[in-house]
Amino acid sequence: MDAGSLSSVSPSKTKSRCPLQEQFLQRRNSRENLDRFIPNRSAMDMDYAHYMLTEGRKVKENPADNSPSREAYRKQLAETFNMNRTRILAFKNKPPTAIEAIPNDCSSSVHQQAKTAKPRRYIPQTSERTLDAPDLVDDYYLNLLDWGSSNVLSIALGSTVYLWDASDGATSELVTIDEENGPVTSVKWAPDGRHLALGLNNSDVQLWDTTANRLLRTMRGGHRSRVGALDWNNHILTTGGMDGQIINNDVRVRSPIVDTYQGHHQEVCGLKWSASGQQLASGGNDNLLHIWDRSVASSNTSTEWLHRLEDHTAAVKALAWCPFQGNLLASGGGGGDRSIKFWNTHTGACLNSIDTGSQVCALLWNKNERELLSSHGFTKNQLTLWKYPSMVKTAELTGHTSRVLFMAQSPDGCTVASAAGDETLRFWNVFGTPEVAKPSPKANPEPFAHLNCIR
């Protein structure tokens, strides 16, 4: 509709307009409303004009009724109601007050929501620190990096294990393994942040007290080849080897082997216990992903898996349990697969699958936001931050010049360390700064609490 044509507005459309808005009158014939020199009828006081044309004329025609007291009263009344105007038809310079599109109560709630909306987090695109990592073994199937609860990072460089204290940046050497037994093929901190487990190339597993710098025990005989995957479930140390076996070891007893899981035909390269400690996820070079249930484990015979998932088309190393949904598992495939898949471990159903375009080496969940971080190989050798569940890319972090094999998360969940085949260790502030906990309100003390109780 042409905005300048008033005659084309239908009555039905006029009635359907929003209230409190100016409506345009429709001419019935060509002889009505011909006063086109008046630009705006809403600027005129028609009531006052009607009074002046009727009552005002009577006052002028009957001067006898116009006594001084009556005239004074009329002037005071005119001043009070702003009727001292000589022109009936006049322009108003002040524009009309704009009509609010949203009522005051609604607009205030909108403003309040805008203020309470969380601002978008800034994600630095470069690493905040880079350390040299010479002799880091460039092997996709190993796990050579971990960050403990005491804020100490452990990394295996060849046959030597180093400790880096994140609080002061101090570096110390824990142990160097003999050439006949090394190199170190996996490292994993115990939940206490003091004890460190090492998997070796000769199939041995060592347990170290890092505070006393002392070897506590060496577990032998469980595996027949190198141990490339480790994970803890309280006092149970789970080990995965090139022989395809998964063994639960109770480190408190003399004979540590308590459970054995057999389901992989090739090397086990990924092991992750759920937060509840009831389910174990294992990935192998046979492209298989298994879910094991702790409640049905047995030391006498090999335990049957709960789910055998065969959707990946390459080795499954990257595993990460969701921190906000206990039965949600993310898994990443190797160079021939290049996908991240999400699983409901109660039913074994694949919930989603995303093609990342490159080898998936490691996965980490953000503990504070619904985000997932993945590290990749050729061609970009990048870290990618995904928004879950939409899996929209939030950021891509580049800097490594070779595939990013390992990732570890700081105890506060904000900083991520990545180690790559380019023999560098980089630290990324990808998950934001730690939130300062608000102090809990102090409870009101009981009256006379400082006095002895009356017996």
Output the tens digit of pLDDT for each of the chain's 455 residues: 444 443 444 444 444 445 434 444 444 444 444 444 455 566 567 777 777 777 665 555 555 556 777 778 777 777 766 655 555 555 555 556 665 555 555 555 555 555 556 678 899 999 999 999 999 999 999 999 999 999 999 999 999 999 999 999 999 999 999 999 999 999 999 999 999 999 999 999 999 999 999 999 999 999 999 999 999 999 999 999 999 999 999 999 999 999 999 999 999 999 999 999 999 999 999 999 999 999 876 555 567 899 999 999 999 999 999 999 999 999 999 999 999 999 999 999 999 999 999 999 999 999 999 999 999 999 899 999 999 999 999 999 999 999 999 999 999 999 999 999 999 999 999 998 766 555 555 544 444 444 444 43
Do 279 and 273 meet the contact criterion of CB atoms below 8 Å apart?
A: yes
Order of all β-strands in the sheet with 349-355 = 316-321, 328-333, 339-344, 349-355
Q: How far apart are CA 268 and CA 262, in angstroms?
A: 10
Do 292 and 302 meet the contact criterion of CB atoms below 8 Å apart?
A: no
